[in-house]
Amino acid sequence: MKTDEGKLIDIEMQNSALTKEVHYRFQIYGARMIDHQVNRGDLLYSENVHEVYTILFVNDIDRDNLLLIDTYMPRNQLNHVRKYNLLTHHNIYLPFIDAVVREKGLKNLSKIELAIYTLYHGITDDIMALNSEVVIMMKEKMDQFNEDEELVLAASKRQLVKIQHHQEKVRIRQEGKEEGELLKAKENTLMLFKSKYPQEDILMLENLTLSQYNEIFKALIENKDLQIIKEMIK
């Protein structure tokens, strides 16, 4: 979004832990938002470039830095913020709002704290009872969203795509894990079989299932008769 003053703001909500990859991604987002404002050959940057803010709402807490809102700006060794700074980033640790409420009480929250609490917990009866302009505004926005069929449909499709992508990643990881287990079981079985029956053709042990390799390996350990092992292969 762009404010009336021309400031550019990128907002995202991340329902996960704040991993190294997420840290990297948002630094890249901010740098890209600055870079996209400048064209090759521009001489007067001050006429074209606006301040950039990235705001990440994340379902996580930084255990080493217990804050509700953690703000990052480039500073020098004397802790002075860079002159004419263009990039400011905010991490908002949603679960930490509960600690703020325990300390201050729901009725004593600032406007931004109340907005964060509402984002984290939803518009509940205790929040509506406050009759705050912040909550009323957020409820109006939510009602507008729910009444817009195109927005609701787009959000639903986006969520389905995210679920599908997640399931696909899980499937690929699972298939890779199963393939690794199969190769390991096959390798162990072939090695033990060749040591016990060096004259036998090991081609019979090709293209078996993980369960078959495990059963044959167990039979070899227990010194079962070769004929029994061949029956297991069949």
| Mean pLDDT per 10-residue interval, the chain, length 234 residues | 86 84 89 83 70 92 90 93 92 93 92 92 86 88 84 77 74 77 84 81 83 86 83 80
Distance in Å from the first CA to the final CA of the chain: 66
Q: What count of other Cβ atoms lies within 10 Å of the Cβ of residue 18?
A: 18
In the prediction, which pLDDT does 40 show? 64
How much is the pLDDT for 225? 83
pLDDT of residue 54: 93
What φ, ψ does residue 78 adopt, rounded to 5°? -95, 10
- Please give the pLDDT value at position 44: 66
Residue with tokens 């690794």: 180
pLDDT of residue 42: 65
